Structure 1
C-alpha cells in the first residue's frame, strides 16, 4: 500500500519496508489525476495484533474505510488470498472500491487489475479511477474547479472581493466599491457560464448594487 501511495504522489511520502506493520498511522497526500483531485490516505494494514500502538492504527484504518469516498483495496498478486484478504473483501464490500493486485511482476496468475507499485507501473489503476468518475460511479462532495481558466477566474473574484471589503472598511464611496463587486461578479459568472448555477451567484450578490 505504501509503495502505491508513493507511486501515485510521485514522492517518498510513506516508509516502505518488507516488514508487515511498518505503516502504523495514517499517511496522507493530495494528487490530481486529469481533473480529479484525490485526497489519498495510506492506512495501517487491518489484522489482529497484540501491539497497542499498531491496534490504534488499525482502528483508524477502519474509521477511514467508513468515511472514504473510494476504497483502493490492495492485494498481493504473488500469493493466494488468505483469511485476512477475505476479511478485507467483506469489510469493504458495501463501499465504492477498486480491487487491485500489486506485484504484477511476481503474480502467480492473471488478475483483472494488476499493477507494480514499486516499479511505478500503476497506469491501469489510474485509468480505472478515471473511468469510475467518468461513469459517475463516484462523486466528490464539494464542487470542483475543473481547469486553469476556472481557477484563474476564482482567484480574480477573490481578489476583487478582498478589495471591496477593504474599500468598505476604509469608508469609500459606494460607486468605488461597486466596481470591484461587479468585477468579482463577472469573474464568478465566467466560471459557471451556461450553467444553472448562475442563479446562485445572483442570489449571493442581490443585496449589492452592481449596476446590472
Structure 2
C-alpha cells in the first residue's frame, strides 16, 4: 500500500465521520486534511524544471483557548530531482523524483476574529524533513514559520497557510555525492486545509 493511499484512508476514517457534529465555532481538538504546493530547494530540483510539487497531509491541533493552540502535521510532496552519479558508478542509477516527508509540531497564535468570524494566525514549529531520492534518505532538522487564516463553518474549519521552512544541520550534497555539515535547504509551501473537532467550552 502506497503512503498516499494510507494517508487517504486515515483521513477518511478520522475526519469524515465527525462531519458537522461540532457546529459552527472554534474547535478545542481538531483533525483534518491538507493539500497544497511546496517549492523545493534548487539544490534538489534541476534548473530547467519547476520547483513546485503537490502536497498532501494530515494535521491536528489542540486549542488552550481562543488565542493559543498546539499544532502538528505530516505532509508529503514529490518533486523533480537533480540527476547525479552515485559513487564511482555510471550515471545510470538515477531516479527522476525526490520525496519530501515533513513532520512538524509547534504553537499557533490566533488573533481576534475579523469579518465572518475568520482569524489571522501565526505559527512557529520545528520538526524533521526526510528527503528520499536517488537511493538516499537524508534527515534534516526543520524550522517552520507560517501565517494564514482560519475560518470556522458549520461543517468544520477551513484554513490556508503560507510557510517558510529552512533546514539546519547536515544535508546531502548532490554535487559531491556526500553528506556535508553546515549547509541548508529551504522550501516554501502554500497549504489549504479542512478540519473538524469539538467546540471550545465557551461556545
Same-fold status (TM-score > 0.5): no
Question: Which structure is higher in RCO with an 8 Å CA cutoff and minimum separation 6?
Answer: 2
Q: TM-score, normalised by structure 2?
A: 0.23
Q: Which has the higher helix share?
A: 1
